Amino acid sequence: MYVYLRIFISIMVYFTIIFLPIETTSDQSGLPTQPPPILEDTYFLEVVPVYNIEIADDLEVKDQRLVYKVEQQVWYYGKGDNRQVALTFDDGPDNYFTYQILDILQEYDIKATFFVIGSNVERFPEVIRRIAHDGHVIGNHSWSHKDFTKISPNSMGAEIVKTDEALNSIIGKKHTNIFRPPYGSYNKEVLETVHSLNYNCIYWSVDTKDWANTPITSMIKTVSSQITPGGIILMHCSGSNGAMRNVVKALPEIIETIKDLGYEFGTIPDVLEFNQQVNHQNLREL
């Protein structure tokens, strides 16, 4: 009787171990599942699979920061003396779509301007190194993408400075004193704070509305109908999966459309002629 009891208990233990639900970090495919996305007042960020690409920690970047004269205004577009426009990408980096955008820009030999979120810079240092290494201009887009019109000047300053420090720690001084307010939202107090920290405030003249999952044909139509010499085009390199897939598909067509219209590409300092520190009258003031 005792022997049968031991056999029965052994069988029960065996089946309990086999069928007991156990929490794991893998799905049915056996691949690790991603942690839930952390939203920090950014545009609809989603966790996505990563490329198996790593940028070496000792990647060489120039340790010389370009600082431009600060104008007490918001820059919407350049003077337009030549047919040059700027592609700008907000809210990155991420470790999936940003790589694809960088590859496209590299294929077309275009230098763009990236307004980066500090928390993403800290999260994906290898991507910001790639951006710097490829020669793109890097600007500040705050630490957590909060609406600056709804927070105090001290909080604004902390958002900008913390992002600046994160960039310094990863790429040295390979970024410059240009800032784009989250959501494009600003008022007099925001501008006073941004300018007091020695940053130029950059807006845009063409909004592709790519973040809203806008159809590719609509984005191309917007760009072709609104672009002018000195134009600044707003796009994103991080966001919802659906929207960013559209961006990656649309970007080559947008580039080809702009080139067919006879324009060349430059960075924000190029288009705004920051090296010449020109102060002209076609910029909107608050």
Structure tokens at 70: 């600060």
Burial 117-144, CB ≥16 within 10 A → b, else e: bbbbbbebbbbbbbbbbeebbbbbbbbb
- Closest to 105 measured CA to CA, from 121, 91, 87, 117: 87
Question: How far apart are the C-alpha atoms of 61 and 58, rounded to whole Å?
Answer: 9
90 is catalytic: yes
The active-site residue, picked from 136, 141, 175, 236, is: 236
Beta bridge partners of 84: 264
Place of tokens 């630490």: 143
Query: Residue 94 catalytic?
Result: no
Phi, psi of 128, rounded to the nearest 5 degrees: -65, -30
Question: Is 88 in contact with 204 (CB distance < 8 Å)?
Answer: yes
Beta strands 232-236; 84-90: pairing state: parallel
CA dist 32 and 24 (Å) reads 9
Nearest to 46 by CA among 231, 263, 213: 213
Alpha-carbon gap, residue 188 to 87, rounded angstroms: 27
Separation of alpha carbons 232 and 244, rounded Å: 19
Q: Which of 90, 91, 164, 270 is catalytic?
A: 90
As annotated, the active-site residues are: 90, 236
